[in-house]
Each structure stands twice: as structure tokens, then as C-alpha cells.
Amino acid sequence: MSQLCLDLRELPQRSGATLQRHVTYTVGEEWTTPVAHITPGVELDMDISLQAIDQGVLAHVRTRVPAEAECVRCLDRVDLTRDVDLYQVFYLPDERDKLVADGDEDAAYEPVIEGDAIDLTPVLRDATVGQLPLQPLCSEDCLGLCSTCGEPLRDLEDDHHHDVVDPRWSALAGLLGEVKETT
């Protein structure tokens, strides 16, 4: 059973009733995008409010999530923090089925109450990963890497350059050396 599988038996079954929880959740598997991730073992302190509604339960989750990324320009590590403020309805199975029957195709993908519990893990993961940047930067003015030697441009002299000979002219470069020797 997930740490974020919350028992609803303490939540009164009348619309508007609320239940407050403070939960510490340890991320069990890496939550990731191609350039950023939340490491397994990270502990998230969460304030959770559950409110009974006619269709099921409205969950409100607030937490702060530390993440790591790689700067897309210089490849340095970037530490990120994202504030997550998530609202999610968990439908009673019959209520979700009614929505689908009434033509709401998206309702088929909404989470449901299973037995007397809801599992916040998938919706929290999706909300958190959705906030991670697609192109993280170590700083807005990051210069990136030298395209020839791969060194960070911030560490190189202003006049840094490479004499690059077009390979199509390399045979002529050898002749130029011979001409200089004969004169």
C-alpha cells in the first residue's frame, strides 16, 4: 500500500465535511522528465485537505518539492524547488460512470475512490513532473559551452577561439607550408 493511500473512513459522509492531514511522503521511484528529476528517497512534507462532495472527495495537496536538472546550455547541475498546489476530485465509481455515460469522455481518466481510500501518488507525481522545466538554466545569462572544445564559455578568455581548417582545404594547407619554406 502506498504511503499516499489515504483512508477515508474518518471523513464524514456529508457534503462539505473536511479532514485535514499532515503527511510526510518519501518518493519511492524517480519522477523524471528528459532533463529534470526528483530523486527517490526525497521526503515531501504535505498538507492535505480532503472535502466530501456529492460526487466523491476533493483533495487539496500543498507541498514543496526539491528537484535536480541539468542546464541545457552548460550541462551544470541545477537545483530546483517547485511549490505544488494541487486540487483533484476523486469520484465515486458510480458518479464517474454517469459522467462517462453523459458523454464526458475525459471523465474516464479521472481517479476514483477505491473501497474506502484514495491514492494520491499518481496525481501528485503528474502534477509535480508537469511543473519541472523543459529547458532548465543555471542562470538566465548562461553562455553555454564552446562548440569546438566543449569547455564552459564562462571559464574561457574573451578572445578564446580555435583555428579550424576546413577539411576540404587541408591538402592546400600542407602546400602553404611548403611555399613558406622555399621563400
Does a structural domain hold residue 140?
no
Q: Within this chain, do residues 159 and 84 fall inside the same structural domain, yes or no?
A: no
Residue 177 confidence (pLDDT)? 61
Measured CA to CA, the distance from residue 122 to residue 120 in angstroms comes to 6
Residue of 27, 43, 49, 38 whose CA lies nearest to 121:
27
Please tell me whether residues 124 and 157 are part of one structural domain: no
Q: Given this model, what pLDDT does residue 4 score?
A: 86
What pLDDT, on the 0 to 100 scale, is given for residue 73? Answer: 92
Identify whether the C-beta of residue 68 lies closer than 8 Å to the C-beta of residue 37: yes
- What is the CA 16 to chain-centroid distance, rounded? 32
Report pLDDT for 71: 94
Same domain, 103 and 161: no
**CA angle in degrees (0–180, nearest 5) for 130-133-137:** 170
Note whether 110 and 159 are same-domain residues: no
Total domains in the fold of the chain: 2
Residue 57 belongs to domain spanning: 5-131
Same domain, 14 and 64: yes
Ordered per-residue pLDDT tens for the chain, 183 residues: 466 899 999 998 888 999 999 999 999 888 988 889 999 999 999 999 999 999 999 999 999 999 999 999 999 999 999 999 999 999 999 999 899 999 998 888 999 999 899 999 999 999 999 999 999 999 999 989 888 888 888 888 888 888 777 777 777 766 766 555 554
Is residue 147 domain-resident? no
Whether residues 78 and 122 share a domain: the answer is yes
Q: Is residue 165 part of a domain?
A: yes
Residue 52 resides in a domain = yes
pLDDT for res 157: 85
Q: Hunting for cell 502506498 — which residue is that?
A: 2
Q: Dihedral angle at the C-alpha atoms of 20, 2, 32, 78, nearest 10 degrees?
A: 50
Looking at the structure, tell me whether residues 86 and 46 fall in a common domain: yes
Q: Is residue 159 part of a domain?
A: yes
- Does 161 lie in the same domain as 123? no
C-alpha 144/C-alpha 40 separation (Å) is 29
